[in-house]
Amino acid sequence: MSHLDISVVICAYTEDRWEDILAAVDSVRGQSRPAAETLLVVDHNPALLERLGKEYEAAHEEVRVLANAGPRGLSAGRNTGIAAARGEIVAFLDDDAVAERDWLRHFAEGYEDPRVMAVGGRTMPAWASGRRPDWFPEEFDWVVGCTYKGLPPGRVRVRNVLGGNASFRKSAFDAAGGFATGIGRDGDKRPLGCEETELCIRLTRTLPDAVLLIDDRSVIHHKVPAVRERFAYFRTRAYAEGLSKALVARSVGAGKGLESERRYTTRVLPAGVARALRDAALGRPGGAGRAGAIVAGLAAAATGYTLASIRTRRTTGTFRVPEPPSTPAAAPDPAPSPAPAAGPVPAAGAAPQVPGTAPQVPDAAPAAGAGPQVAGAAPLAGQGSAVRSAAGRSQVRGGAG
């Protein structure tokens, strides 16, 4: 069993998920392999920051509440957590998910091999309606941030991990930088993503011997609200994934950026359509709907990818990868209690500064995942805001709206 300390980062942005956030934290505190700390990073919401600061005031050594020190969005929030983390391993959990008791134990086992730089897990949907909609194909569970049909079982090597259920050695961020900003989720805006994919590809280019794994015994249950059970969201999310994939392909090249997607579209989806049509022929519920949804989802993603690819050639928008600090950023000692300020409470333990970034570029990523394959990660919240380039350390041109 790995002796490395694990810091768990949970990014939150809205009080609407209050009960979900508390449940996520409780699931971390109840792990069979205890976390060294839980970092709650609040994305530009002073009221939520103050409320969480008070909620965990008595547990500030175990649960630290931080303000996102960078621009609005999930990537900068994760970077803030990375910079503040004290553990050698940094794990990420969505704020609307709960982890099973052995989640961190199975993550830790993966790091017994020193070549392993990242370990992801299996994310199961918790449908608001209590059951999967008949028409919703398992091959598209990435739409709701979950592990989809087509991924290999067991502990396997992958191109990238899913951000809402993933862990990395902190040294990986020192080497490759953090999550790229200007790509990925920004509150309730278009459900973009792929920041994990971009990070993981960048990491393996920086460290060619790095191994990235998925261990399907590291299980979390991700809440799927009613609105995400509807076909309108399904189509929008698939379209947004296409936008995001175009940005990643522009950054790292279509060869690496789309290698997993080619297998997914040429093998996994055709097999899914065949199964669905067979179910329809046998009179099973939802068969025809699933076949139609697979075709519609693929078409929406292809449309998004095509339009974004055209736009990136015409615009100069960028997303940026902060340079890692020369030494790992250490979080300041936590304050004994929230500051008695008139404004928002600055969280127990102020977050380190995250470098500035370029304008937000639409992109697609659900809270717990990215599209086909398990999508990668992103850059470190460091001091200094130099920009890394497409294949390694740079600026990525392009934007999709």
How far is it between the farthest Cα atoms of the chain? 66
pLDDT in tens, 336-348: 444 433 334 333 3
At 375, list the tokens: 């999508």
DSSP state for residue 304 in the 8-state scheme:
H
The residue type at 95: D
**pLDDT at 167 > cutoff 80:** yes
Burial of 106 (C-beta count, 10 Å sphere; 0-12/13-18/19+): buried
**pLDDT at 77 > cutoff 80:** yes
The residue type at 159: R
At 14, list the tokens: 């809205």
pLDDT in tens, 80-136: 999 999 999 999 999 999 999 999 999 999 999 999 999 999 999 999 999 999 999
DSSP state for residue 189 in the 8-state scheme:
S
Give dist(CA 53, CA 379) in Å, integer: 26
As a whole-number percent, the residues of the chain with pLDDT over 90 amount to 64
List the one residue out of 296, 295, 278 whose CA is nearest residue 287: 278
**pLDDT at 142 > cutoff 60:** yes
The residue type at 219: V
User: How many CA atoms, within 13 angstroms, populate the side-chain half-sphere of residue 3?
Assistant: 0
Binning pLDDT at 50, 70 and 90, where does residue 377 land?
very low
Q: The dihedral of CA 226, 231, 236, 237: what is its sign? A: positive
Please give the class, per CATH, of domain 6-226+320-395. Answer: alpha beta
**pLDDT at 242 > cutoff 50:** yes
Name the one residue in this structure whose structure tokens are 């296409």.
242
- pLDDT score at 315: 61
Give dist(CA 187, CA 194) in Å, integer: 15
Binning pLDDT at 50, 70 and 90, where does residue 191 land?
low
DSSP 338-370: ----SS----SSPPPP----PPP---E--TT--
- pLDDT score at 327: 35
pLDDT in tens, 10-68: 999 999 999 999 999 999 999 999 999 999 999 999 999 999 999 999 998 899 999 99
Q: Write the CA distances from 398 to 4, 26, 177, 211, 255, integer angstroms.
A: 39, 40, 20, 29, 18
Name the one residue in this structure whose structure tokens are 């699933």.
290
Give dist(CA 361, CA 378) in Å, integer: 15
Instruction: Record the pTM.
Output: 0.78
- pLDDT score at 348: 39
**pLDDT at 366 > cutoff 80:** no
Yes or no: say if 113 and 184 are a contact pair by the CB < 8 Å rule: no
- pLDDT score at 363: 33
Characterise 328 by phi-psi region: left (phi > 0), alpha (psi -120 to 50), beta (else).
beta
- pLDDT score at 152: 86
DSSP 104-171: HHHHHHHTTSTTEEEEEEEEEEEETTSS--TT--GGGGGGGTS--BTBPPSEEE-S---TTEEEEEHH
- pLDDT score at 384: 34
Of 21-25, 228-232, 376-380, the range with the lowest mean pLDDT is: 376-380
Phi, psi angle pair for 261, to nearest 5°: -65, -30
The mean pLDDT of the chain is: 81
Binning pLDDT at 50, 70 and 90, where does residue 3 land?
confident
Binning pLDDT at 50, 70 and 90, where does residue 309 land?
confident
Give dist(CA 398, CA 401) in Å, integer: 10
Q: What are the boundaries of each domain within the chain?
A: 6-226+320-395
In a 3-state reduction of DSSP, which class is residue 17?
A: helix
